[in-house]
Amino acid sequence: MTFTREQIAAYAAASGDHNPIHLDDEFARSAGLPGVIAHGMLQMGIAATVAAEAAGGPDHLRRLFVRFAGMVEPGDTVTFRAEPNGTGKLDLSALNQRGEAVLTKAVAEYDGHPLPSGERDQGRGA
Amino acid sequence: MAAIAGRTYPAVKIEIDRDRVEEFAHAIGADPADGVPPTYAAVYSLGVTAPHLFGDEDAAIDFGRLLHAEQEFEWTRQPDMGETVVSSGRVASDVSRRGMRFVTFETDTTDEKGAALCRSRTLFVIRQEVRPARAPARP
In order of their start, the domains of chain A are 5-124 (3.10.129.10)
Cα angle for residues B35, A58, B109 (degrees, 5° grid): 85
Compare all CA atoms of chain B with the CA of A65 and give the residue at the minimum distance: B72
Q: Is B74 in contact with A44 (Cβ distance < 8 A)?
A: no
Compare all CA atoms of chain B with the CA of A59 and give the residue at the minimum distance: B78
Contacts of B69 in chain A (CB under 8 A): 67-68
Contacts of A14 in chain B (CB under 8 A): 20, 23-24, 26-28, 43
Number of H helices, E strands in chain A: 3, 4
Compare all CA atoms of chain A with the CA of B43 and give the residue at the minimum distance: A15
Q: Is A115 in contact with B76 (Cβ distance < 8 A)?
A: yes
Closest CA to A14 of B107, B43, B63: B43
Question: Model confidence at B65, in pLDDT bands (50, 70, 90)?
Answer: confident
A58 contact B CB<8A: yes
Amino acid symbol at B12: V
What whole-number distance in Å separates Cα of residue B51 and Cα of residue B91? 13
Pair A103, A43: CB distance under 8 Å = yes
Q: Is B26 in contact with A14 (Cβ distance < 8 A)?
A: yes
What whole-number distance in Å separates Cα of residue A48 and Cα of residue A63? 10
**Selected residue of A33, A41, A110 to mutate for chain B interface (largest B Cβ count, 10 A):** A41
Q: Is A16 in contact with B43 (Cβ distance < 8 A)?
A: yes
Pair A91, B103: CB distance under 8 Å = no
ipTM rounded to 2 decimals: 0.89
Q: Is B35 in contact with A57 (Cβ distance < 8 A)?
A: yes
Closest CA to A19 of B111, B50, B18: B50
How close A98 comes to chain B (CA, Å)? Answer: 21
Mean pLDDT per 10-residue run, chain A (126 residues)?
A: 97 95 93 94 98 94 97 97 95 98 98 54 36
- pLDDT > 90 fraction of chain B, expressed in percent and rounded: 83
If one counts every other C-beta atom within 10 angstroms of the C-beta of residue B7, the result is: 18
DSSP type of residue B105: E
Q: Is B74 in contact with A120 (Cβ distance < 8 A)?
A: no
With residue B28 as reference, give the H or E element that holds it: helix B18-28
pLDDT, one tens digit per residue, over B78-99 is 999 999 999 999 999 999 999 9
Q: Which domains does chain B carry? A: 12-127 (3.10.129.10)
Output the average pLDDT for chain B: 92
What whole-number distance in Å separates Cα of residue B36 and Cα of residue B22? 8
If one counts every other C-beta atom within 10 angstroms of the C-beta of residue A50, the result is: 21
DSSP B39-67: GGHHHHTHHHHHHHHHT-TTT---GGGEE
Pair B108, B15: CB distance under 8 Å = no
pLDDT, one tens digit per residue, over B17-39 is 999 999 999 999 999 999 999 99
The full 3-state SS of chain A, as one line of letters, equals CECCHHHHHHHHHHHCCCCHHHCCHHHHHHCCCCCCCCCHHHHHHHHHHHHHHHCCCHHHEEEEEEEECCCCCCCCEEEEEEEECCCCEEEEEEEECCCCEEEEEEEEEECCCCCCHHHCCCCCCC
What whole-number distance in Å separates Cα of residue A8 and Cα of residue A28? 14
B36 contact A CB<8A: yes
Residue B62 CA, distance from chain mean position? 15
- pLDDT > 70 fraction of chain B, expressed in percent and rounded: 91
